[in-house]
Structure 1
Amino acid sequence: MRFSDKFGALAERSFRLLWIGRTTSALGDALMPVTLAFAVLSAGGSAADIGLVIATTMVARTLLLLVGGALADRLPRRLLLGGSDLFLCAVQVAAGVLLLTGHGSVTLLLGTALCYGAASAITRPAIAGLVAQTISEARLQQANGLMELSRGAAQVMGPGLAGAAVAIASPGSVYLLDAATFLVSAVTLALLPLAPPARRSEHTHIFAEIAAGWSEVVRRPWYWVTLCGHAVWNVGSSAFAVLGPVIVARQAGGAANWGLVSACMAVGALIGAAVSMRYRPRRPLIAAHLALLPTVLQLAALTGPSPTVVVMGAALVGAAGVALLNSLWSTAVQKLIPEEVLSRVSSYDWLISFTVAPLGYAAAGPLAEAIGVTRTLELALAFVVAGVVAVLLVPRVRQLRQSSEGGLHGWPDLDNRASDDRPSTLAAAGEPR
């Protein structure tokens, strides 16, 4: 297959610029978990302080996600993302300089984490809408696959690069490097050749727009039931991350074996993203959610416990399935949800992921102590299967079909629309829908 066929989405200038910016930003984000830990320690903090800084980012993001979704539907998404990038660039420069000059403190890092969480609450819903604005409909799934691929590659390379950079230089230097990635992203967004957005209806109160987003969610049972299924799956799958290191570390090789398992998960995510760029299933939502079932293999491999090589293989397949789901699901949502409410609707998806997954992480350890590791893993297996089955029982999930060109049909409200009435992702002149 020719490069132009496999990476054809990059032939479209708008998406290419967005992809370059988001890939650079993703690499910067991937540097921060390792850097943050060393920054806290260098500022005189403890392990508890590291947890507090991480929690601050998560809480800020969770509390502001719905506001971010409403803003992304109200304001031009490119300007919103660019402003967020410039804001975080300034924040990281300030933090980096203070750390380099010996003025770093846990309080400073808490403030930085708060800014990071608030900005990401705006960024994530906005990206969902902006990808669809920068690519033709036929290449939308490929574009989402590329975004997933670059995110996975950044997560693979980031921790190692951060560790080397901290060892060679200092945490403050990595903060400045992260600031540079935000600047690159802001520049690419400024260069996006997008026309001004369509005139919005008269603005209402921000909370009214958030409520309107919720109304858009509940009037689509296929969407909110699927989100509930994802939430149940998240609770079950979290047991692997919590109990896996404990079980694998007891085997020959110890903690190093869990490093191999984690590496396999990273490789699996890259494979899944690469597959999603070429695989266009006839029943996209069925294929996407069947791809979540290999998570059962990961959990089952721990109940043995199985040899590390078996756990590694199961983790690779499971991670590949999650990456495939992410790409297929994002593409379907971007095509089925109206552009003017897409960010608000997507923010509820992110919100459920952020709020439910930590509950699973928190519950797995105490539950294993109360009822045993094996029974906890069996319960997690049941949650994973139940989450997938709940989604597959939704009639519209089973009915939705995809043509070889990427068009969706199989629902009356899709099939009854004349083809020339359907909004294309980009007009012939390159303008957003």
Structure 2
Amino acid sequence: MLTRLLLGRCLSALATALIPTTLTLAVLRVTGDGAAVGIVLASELIPLLVFLPIGGVLADRLRPGRVVLLADLTRCLTQAVMAVELLLGLNRLLDLALLSAVAGAAIAFGSPAVPRLVVAVVPAPDRLRVNARIGVVTSLSAVAAPAIAGTIIVAAGPGWAAALTAALFACSAVTLGGVRAKGGTSPEVRRTSAFYASFREDLVHGWREVRRRPWFLACVVGHGVWHFVAGLFLTLGPVTAVQQLGGEASWMVIMQSGTVGMVLGVFAAPRLRIRRPLVAVQVGASCYLLPLVALAVPAPVAVLAGGYFVAMFGLGVLSPLWETVVAEEIPEGALGRVRSFDQLISFASRPFGLAVAAPLAGVTGVTALALIGGVLVAAANLAAIAASPPRTAGSPVEEPRRQGSGAA
């Protein structure tokens, strides 16, 4: 079952990472208008944000494998229809936007179910190692997918890239849908589903679970600030690199250094002897201060690339640790709803940062905005350490080492 889980997550991550490049180039071929690209991408984001809380409720009510199966089959269908339309040369912008909206809703229902699926399949001592492997797969997919999609589109057209994406989602659905959680739905999930008959009550109960854990809410707010500031950096960074640091090649060096840092961080997470995982998580997020300070100067490319490497290394350590700590501390019967609140803030914050970066920079200047963003991300995440519960110290990190399974 563990192999099926890892393979399914690999296929789904690669398919997901192919979509932005495929959509962007397809829309540009159809319209040649950057604003149209924004409309299509927003068409996916808006239903994603709207339906995430509902997806969290369903993730706690239903078997997570079934939810993931239906979500990936839906995304497979949207990509298949998109492939057919593009291959036939229909090129209707409205259709692309509608298909993106359906895909966004599918993501909203599927994403909260994935942590529940991991918890149901993977024993607690092995979760950090498994989460690290999933993190590596996701990171590498994010790097490889644009090149794969771009190559296919140049050679054969965006329709074939969409067809490949549909095939990957079909394989992912079959693979993850075949994962059987040990013992089925937990008694706590059955009780929760029976007692909270309405979605509204389930949502309220999920929010209560969040409020009962100040450390979780503080960390989620800090991570939301991280995503917002990342949106600022990813907008201002390339402009600064092109205009002041030697051109597009400089920005590619910076981005690739961040990719290497993130992959190394994910590999390192299960091997580090960390006694307070939440402290490591928040310190990792606060490292995003470094590239923002370097951007404010602006520092030479090597310094900016080094700062971004450290920041993304921190993210690589953060991701599997956070997944593991949350799975340990949140009851399985509420995990889908609690994680949907987490994902809602994260999914919303980065696009907001991307949208407001240029207008804000026009008012404050790049230097001031970068410094303010750096201070915000460090302050918000380091402040959350004060709320971290000491009882989480070492439990999800030390245990795999004692069981002899610390390697990713």
| Same topology, TM > 0.5 | yes
* Structure-1 residue corresponding to 2:76: 89
CA–CA separation in structure 2 for the residues paired with 1:287 and 1:259: 28
Given candidates 221, 226, 231, the residue that maps to 2:224 is 231
CA–CA separation in structure 2 for the residues paired with 1:276 and 1:395: 19
Runs of 5+ unmatched residues, structure 2: 401-408
What does 1:21-420 correspond to in 2, within 5 Å?
21-44=8-31, 46-194=33-181, 195-199=183-187, 200-201=190-191, 202=194, 204-396=197-389, 398=390, 400-403=392-395, 406-407=398-399
Counterpart code for 1:187: V
* Structure-1 residue corresponding to 2:406: none
- Write out per-residue CA displacement over residues 256-286 of structure 1, whole angstroms, 9 at most, x where no aligned residue: 2112211111111111111113224111111
Query: Helix, strand or coil for the counterpart of 2:267?
Result: helix
Runs of 5+ unmatched residues, structure 1: 1-13, 409-433
**Cα gap change, 1:391/1:39 in structure 2, threshold over 3 Å: closer, same or farther?**
same
Query: Helix, strand or coil for the counterpart of 2:285?
Result: coil
CA–CA separation in structure 1 for the residues paired with 2:175 and 2:71: 13
- Write out per-residue CA displacement over residues 355-388 of structure 1, whole angstroms, 9 at most, x where no aligned residue: 2333333333222221222111111121012112
Question: Aligned-residue CA RMSD in angstroms?
Answer: 1.8
8 Å Cα contact 1:45-1:106 kept in structure 2 = no
Aligned residues: 394
8 Å Cα contact 1:261-1:315 kept in structure 2 = yes
Distance apart, 1:175 and its partner CA: 0.8
**Cα gap change, 1:187/1:235 in structure 2, threshold over 3 Å: closer, same or farther?**
closer
Query: Helix, strand or coil for the counterpart of 2:35?
Result: helix
CA–CA separation in structure 1 for the residues paired with 2:108 and 2:396: 35
**Cα gap change, 1:405/1:309 in structure 2, threshold over 3 Å: closer, same or farther?**
closer
CA–CA separation in structure 2 for the residues paired with 1:238 and 1:172: 29
CA–CA separation in structure 2 for the residues paired with 1:394 and 1:404: 18
Counterpart code for 2:119: A
Counterpart code for 1:210: L
More helix by share: 2
TM-score, with structure 2 as normaliser: 0.92
Distance apart, 1:93 and its partner CA: 1.2
* Structure-1 residue corresponding to 2:404: none
CA–CA separation in structure 1 for the residues paired with 2:54 and 2:44: 16
Query: Helix, strand or coil for the counterpart of 2:111?
Result: helix
- Write out per-residue CA displacement over residues 232-266 of structure 1, whole angstroms, 9 at most, x where no aligned residue: 33333432212111111123531221122111111
Counterpart code for 1:247: T
CA–CA separation in structure 1 for the residues paired with 2:392 and 2:97: 45
Counterpart code for 2:305: M
Query: Helix, strand or coil for the counterpart of 1:376?
Result: helix
Counterpart code for 1:353: S
8 Å Cα contact 1:73-1:341 kept in structure 2 = yes
Counterpart code for 2:86: L
Counterpart code for 1:332: V
8 Å Cα contact 1:288-1:324 kept in structure 2 = yes
CA–CA separation in structure 1 for the residues paired with 2:210 and 2:299: 42
TM-score, with structure 1 as normaliser: 0.87
